[in-house]
Amino acid sequence: MQFLNNRRSLTCGSRASHDRGFIIGGPFTMSNTTNQQLTASLSSPIMALFFVTMFIIGTDTFIVSPMLPTLRKVLHISIEQSGWLISAYALGYALFALIAGPLSDGLDRKLCLLGGMIGFSLFTALCGSTTSFSLLFAYRTLAGICAAIATPQVWASIPQLVAPQKIVKAMGAATAGLAVSQCLGVPLGSLLAASNWRFPFYAIGITALLITIVLALKLPSIPPTTKNRSSLGSLKQQYRTLFSRRSTVTAFLGYFLYQLGTFSTFSYLGNWLADDFSLNVQQTGLFILGFGIGNLAGSILVSKVERTLGIRRTVTSSLLGMIAMYVIVITGKDVIFISVAYALIALFGGMLFPLLMGTLQKEQPYARGTVAALANSTMYFATMLGSALAGELYARFAGFSSIVIGTMLCYTASLIIFRGLLHNRRTVIDQANGAA
């Protein structure tokens, strides 16, 4: 009888995952009673903890962009060199995430998260202690490495701690943390930087340490879902298995193109606003405030929109909307009008990001840490490459307009890829339902 009860609970979990389509990654293997108790007692606190974690990491990720004009003067560096301060963080993150993700699949995710956050708080604070470009580059790289340890644990832990029907909502909450970091964290950091450029780094470092303490006290243990511990020797096999499916390669290519376009423009947004519209750091922070509000709104609306339109139409509408708004950005002359267009770009992006992350998670439901780390690594490789290419385009060609055109081309290619991928998945699900 116990065997039948267990089997029934597994079947219900699998059916819930199947009914939700491809957003949900794999069967939820807890019993129904345990699942309900966990959802009732932990879902809201977990979402809150992951929200503030992504908020502080997102603030650190985005804070440098509006500060680039100031850092160019303080460090006596060129426009091209200033872009490498963004690339430094991205480089550390992208390289180390490839190792940290697979290794974390065999470890307690809480311990990985805490270790990453401690290092993140330390090296971010150290960024405010130097006026050397080389040292600042090194500290940003190390902060990126620590963020690469912490961030994947958030995305990978959600399917383990949250009931299947709440996974999209939980991922939306984590995405909202990134959105609010742009909405509140970056503008506040910009205001602090107006007094002294060091203050934002100190504030982020101290706040990250306080969040780490709360995580240590409140977050439950998150043991690995597999008994096999990963090692450096097994990494090659893990990635070979991950990319053995053609759809996985296609999905990550589309995701890379999307992030390449996104961070190419964002990396030089501060420089463009300062050079073309003479905005100072505080005014740039207010501009990004509108961007963050749009992103937050998108992350809140995504679950409702996805239920109404379906995932394929939501992804299509979001990318087309972003392309249309970028046409307004490069043709507009009024900074307020452009700020509204950017807020709408952020709204579409806020809806798009959790759906793309859920798509990638579904590719390998039993290696979520690896998938989450690779997704974040892909994003930061795109950031590094995008900021480097954007610097060359900005300095040597048609300025910010050339960057925007490149972004629109990346979005178009990503749209074609995801429409094809999601159409194929819908077909497979319909065939399975018909066979049943």
What's the whole-number mean pLDDT along residues 190-198?
A: 81
Residue 121 makes CB contacts below 8 A (sequence gap 6+) with: 204, 205, 206, 208, 209, 212
Residue 263 makes CB contacts below 8 A (sequence gap 6+) with: 90, 379, 382, 383, 386, 387
In the predicted structure, residue 368 carries a pLDDT above the cut 60: yes
pLDDT score of 182: 67
In the predicted structure, residue 249 carries a pLDDT above the cut 70: yes
Q: What is the rounded distance in angstroms from the CA atom of residue 295 to the CA atom of residue 308?
A: 20
The predicted-structure confidence for 330-342, as pLDDT tens digits, reads as follows: 998 899 999 999 9
12 pLDDT tier (thresholds 50, 70, 90)? very low
In the predicted structure, residue 146 carries a pLDDT above the cut 90: yes
The predicted-structure confidence for 206-222, as pLDDT tens digits, reads as follows: 999 999 999 998 888 88
415 CB burial (10 A radius; 0-12, 13-18, 19+): buried
**C-beta separation of 99 from 148 below 8 A:** no
The predicted-structure confidence for 405-429, as pLDDT tens digits, reads as follows: 999 999 999 999 999 888 766 543 3
Q: Which of residues 76 and 225 earns the better pLDDT score? A: 76
Q: Which of residues 166 and 28 earns the better pLDDT score? A: 166
Q: Which of 83-97, 145-159, 244-258, 399-413 has the highest mean pLDDT?
A: 399-413
Longest CA span, the chain? 74
Q: Which of residues 375 and 179 earns the better pLDDT score? A: 375
254 pLDDT tier (thresholds 50, 70, 90)? very high
**C-beta separation of 316 from 415 below 8 A:** yes
Please provide the average confidence, as pLDDT, over all residues in the chain: 79
Residue 34 makes CB contacts below 8 A (sequence gap 6+) with: none
In the predicted structure, residue 5 carries a pLDDT above the cut 50: no
In the predicted structure, residue 37 carries a pLDDT above the cut 50: no
Q: Which of residues 179 and 42 earns the better pLDDT score? A: 179
